[in-house]
Structure 1
Amino acid sequence: MNRGLRGATTVLQNEENQMIENTRLLIEEMVAKNNVQPTDVSHVFISVTKDLNAGFPAKALREISGWTYVPVMCMAEIDVPNSLPKCIRVMMVVNTTEEQEKIQHVFHHDAVKLRPDLVKGDNN
């Protein structure tokens, strides 16, 4: 079965290395908490808010061993007034037998504000 695995993080500055590093840390925790292997992943969508354009956060996946062939696409998040700034959102579609309510979504930094109902345990 395919399931969506959600994650989000924020950065302090519109800076490529920070965007890639925070995205890499987020992805690594998402896969660790959900026991995901790269071969389990159908595709990954990554969106960024309009104030982030210094680089492609999808580059973070290329730094993780085994992720070479996972399809990844970056896109702009819709520009909603008063929405969380400097935010990177990830939607990973994975093949899993896990029940939907058992999926562990991951939110780091200020992104914990997006879905406090889904935040479990310590998030950066």
Structure 2
Amino acid sequence: MRAIRGATTVRENTVEAMREAVTELLDELQTRNCLHPNEILSVTFSVTRDLDAIFPAAIARSRPFWDTVPMLDVQQMYVQGSLERCIRFLIHAQLPTSFPVQHIYLQKAKNLRPDWSLPQSLHPSQSAVETKV
């Protein structure tokens, strides 16, 4: 079992903006990790207190094959001066331990983990040529 972290920010507290941000985040998750939803054991989404237009899990459940993934939405602890309009996830997936996990940090959330916001080790099915394009 492997854990994958990720986060993004939303431009405004609307269903449309949150749907766009969560979709981009999960698309990147699946692409960079060659991950299929049937490999996901669980997902916990957290949102900052300024986001309440829709549950991120509701957005995820509308994706193909995500409707059976156990998901939970929680509110991120507020810390004065912390990043606003932020959606985070912690995903547990059944992946080989030799698999190089790609943590996904997008938009302003790149500042949360600058070391993880850059492309990380290649998945064995990817070549160096593919990533340079």
TM-score when scaled to structure 1? 0.90
Q: How many residues align?
A: 119
Letter in 2 for 1:89: R
User: For 1:59 and 1:93, how far apart are their aligned partners in 2?
Assistant: 18
Take 1:30 and 1:82, find their aligned partners in 2: how far apart are those partners? 27
Identity %: 34
Q: What residue number does 1:109 align with? A: 107
Moved over 4 A (4+): none
> How far is 1:21 from its partner?
1.8
Q: Deviations over 1:90-116 (max 9, x none)?
A: 11110100437x211111110000000
Q: Return the index of the structure with the highest Cα Rg.
A: 2
Equivalence for 2:18? 19
Gaps of 5+ in 2: 120-133
Q: CA RMSD in A?
A: 1.3
How far does residue 25 in structure 1 lie from its aligned partner after superposition? 1.3
For structure 1, which runs of at least 5 residues remain unmatched after alignment? none
One-letter amino acid matched to 1:14 = N
CA distance in 1, matches of 2:54, 2:63: 17
Residue pairs, 1:1-124, within 5 angstroms = 2-99=1-98, 102-121=100-119
